[in-house]
Structure 1
């Protein structure tokens, strides 16, 4: 008689039960490596603009900027606002190559998206990660948006294409630029591969953080020109306006 547990059951137990929380190192006791206490402390984005996900004092509103000048994309989905400790997790993932943190955030984003799909959010046909400039890609060694896109693709069973969206020129880093400078910086910075056809398709752009929305806006214009029917933006976090808590 074979008394050994089924191999897949062993794998499931190893992956889904015996976790240590990646934030506090206590037993996670969840199927992803984050304990319930640390999960509750994450900066969840509850009240936000229905279009660009800008943090707002009340839910169910559209911010003034989106009301005056609707963006080229349809909707931004972001589970969190860019605050502690999520800002630290994203920085460690991007700049210190701590990929397990990125994998954790991608899994939680996929859970958030699946919940929203069940509540009526349209499911996209294609995921398109924001491409990284070649020089920055050489320096960092990986594209964090591409990794998020691959993880989301597997979790959501949606195709991810990292070659369709191209970065056509090198641009300075966006972190220290204001909104107007960001828009100038990204003019004609993106294009589609020559054989790309998006006519009538619903696509979702994947990025880590949405700050002013300049990158998403520039990409959305390119996708609209290529015939995309709907353009959503999926990211980990949305920043507040400067000076806003």
Structure 2
């Protein structure tokens, strides 16, 4: 019995065809769909806070906020600052459903993380957890960009991901319009763990697109740490600089 229909036409194999850079539309040298020139000119995050990845003028420093009030997560890993063209690519991915742009950025983030795993700069987590989205926002947008990033990273890094551990049962005001203190108050009861979630003694990495104040990541990390997690890291595409910097 044949399970596949006969097909005599040429089959398109994505990984074996020439690719164009999704930024400049010139030929790309790899399947990551970004040319060497555009990749080099991305706003790579250089000197930054060892904890929250806030851009700083020197290496090996911890920012004043993290010294004064250490967050519940151990470290933030982000390849770029939230500047052109990464900011535009993320916006088009999130708000215009340009999924190939998000996939390209996820592949580059995955390569960045794998390099650090290979060089023993980072410990591989037990599981990737996407930052959950409220139901109303999910209905409006149609997808959770953090969920998609976690799936792509899971495949690239051969790491499990779980979309059911963290829940966001309560609607909250959009974080973008709030200052840091208001964001923290806004998130006090926004998240919860799924009943029966296996957290004790495990190392998790939260996945999101952009880290701004870190309030969301701190709230989720606090929830996991209080439930017995041994470590929580944050993987995101970009870190915003300090306002006015």
Alignment TM-score, normalising by the size of structure 1: 0.93
Counterparts of 1:69 and 1:214 in 2: how far apart (Å)? 12
Equivalent residue for 1:229? 230
Counterparts of 2:199 and 2:24 in 1: how far apart (Å)? 44
1:202 paired with 2:203, answer yes
**CA 45–17 in structure 1, closer or farther in 2 if over 3 Å, else same:** farther
Unaligned runs of 5+ in 1: 1-6
Counterparts of 1:40 and 1:148 in 2: how far apart (Å)? 22
1:78-227 matches, within 5 Å, as: 78-120=78-120, 121-227=122-228
**Aligned 8 A contact 1:79 1:109 in 2:** yes
1:44-55 matches, within 5 Å, as: 44-55=44-55
Give the superposition deviation at 1:16.
Answer: 5.2
**Aligned 8 A contact 1:73 1:232 in 2:** yes
Equivalent residue for 2:4? none
Counterparts of 2:167 and 2:119 in 1: how far apart (Å)? 33
Q: How many residues align?
A: 235
Alignment TM-score, normalising by the size of structure 2: 0.93
Counterparts of 1:65 and 1:225 in 2: how far apart (Å)? 22
Equivalent residue for 2:6? none
3-state SS of 2:238 partner: strand
**Aligned 8 A contact 1:17 1:29 in 2:** no
The C-alpha deviation readout for 1:172-200, integer Å capped at 9, x for no partner, is 11111110111111111111101112111
What is the Cα-based RMSD across aligned positions, in Å?
1.3
The C-alpha deviation readout for 1:192-236, integer Å capped at 9, x for no partner, is 101112111000000000000000011011001110000000000
Counterparts of 2:107 and 2:113 in 1: how far apart (Å)? 10
Counterparts of 1:50 and 1:115 in 2: how far apart (Å)? 18
3-state SS of 1:175 partner: helix
**CA 16–57 in structure 1, closer or farther in 2 if over 3 Å, else same:** farther
Give the superposition deviation at 1:17.
Answer: 5.1
The C-alpha deviation readout for 1:14-63, integer Å capped at 9, x for no partner, is 42550000011000122211011111110000110010000001111111
Give the superposition deviation at 1:72.
Answer: 0.5
The C-alpha deviation readout for 1:103-160, integer Å capped at 9, x for no partner, is 0000000000001111221100000000001000000000000000000001111111
**4+ residue runs over 3 A deviation:** none
Counterparts of 2:59 and 2:119 in 1: how far apart (Å)? 17
